[in-house]
Amino acid sequence: MRAIVLAAGNGGRLRPLTLQTPKVLFEVGGQPLIQYPIRALSLAGITEVGVMVGHDSQKVVDALKDVYPALTFIFNQWHEGDNATSIFAARDFVAGEPFVVCMGDHAISPNIVETLVLEHDDGNVLCVDSATSNPSQISDATRVRVDADGFILDIGKDLMDWDVVDTGVFMMNDDVFPCIERLMVNQGKKVTISQVVVEMGRTGQPFRVCDVSGMFWADVDTPEDYHSVEMLLREGIV
């Protein structure tokens, strides 16, 4: 199985902390953010990992290429758009196989990836949390509504009726690429992963959920998130 780590964004909401340093290289808990998903993937036995780069791409490559010589770096030409374009840019790298998707700016426990890989087959799956508690999880959460069979009915930051929260860790297969391409034709490079999940459900290919409640994850989007997550990681939560 292969995996991709999304590291193409500009980290604008974390400014001024990211004015000189790409967001994924910003140190949280004593190490760059991107090392958390890379480590989680490695401990789950996933050795073929593509890092999707875009904004300040050379800085990201230079910081990681010697530490992780087995990584493949893939430039996303649409990186000024939204995150689904990075998945589309990885279509040749994943070579028709199911693949794991992690966010380069999320600190995650290795248990999340291990659970996803062990408990699910080659379908489209999102890891979710029903027990969110720290500010970096709930301040800007992407909310998910799920049916009785564990399939996603709706997803978005503004949902009023929701069940669980998106952790940013997915398993996907080739079915997502025609969907992303169709959305890019219709709306350009401003295509989010949440929009892809909604569209897949609308066309009869809904994502399932994998419950990872109780396992640590944190999204670092703002300076407030950074301080919250820094404190947790210094305490050895992961």
> pLDDT by residue (tens digit) across 207-236?
999 999 999 998 887 777 778 888 887 776
What is residue 133's predicted lDDT score, i.e. its pLDDT?
67
Instruction: Supply 195's token pair.
Output: 């929009």
Name the residue among 69, 98, 79 with its Cα closest to residue 4. Answer: 98
Q: What sections of 84-175 are H helices per DSSP?
A: 84-89, 91-94, 110-119, 135-138
How far apart are the C-alpha atoms of 120 and 160, rounded to whole Å? 29
Helix (H, G, I), strand (E, B) or coil at 72: strand
Does the structure show a pLDDT above 70 at 5? yes
Average pLDDT score over residue span 91-96: 95
The bridge status of strand 143-146 relative to strand 48-53 is unpaired
CA atoms within 13 A on the CB side of 4: 30
Check pLDDT > 90 for residue 126.
yes
Residue 136 has pLDDT above 60, yes or no: no
pLDDT at residue 140 greater than cutoff 80: no
**Confidence category of residue 106, pLDDT binned at 50, 70, 90:** very high
DSSP state of 151: B
Return phi, psi of residue 104, to 5°: -70, -15
Give the whole-number percent of the chain exceeding pLDDT 90: 74
pLDDT reading at 3 higher than 90: yes
d(CA 190, CA 196): 11
d(CA 19, CA 189): 24
| Residues forming beta bridges with residue 232, ordered by sequence position | none
Q: What's the confidence (pLDDT) of residue 103?
A: 96
* 69-98 average pLDDT score: 96
- Residues with Cβ within 8 Å of residue 144, at least 6 apart in sequence: 126, 128, 152, 154, 155, 159, 162, 163, 164, 165, 166, 209
Assigned architecture for domain 2-232? Alpha-Beta Complex (3.90)
pLDDT score at 155: 98
Question: What pLDDT does residue 230 have?
Answer: 82
DSSP designation for 213:
T
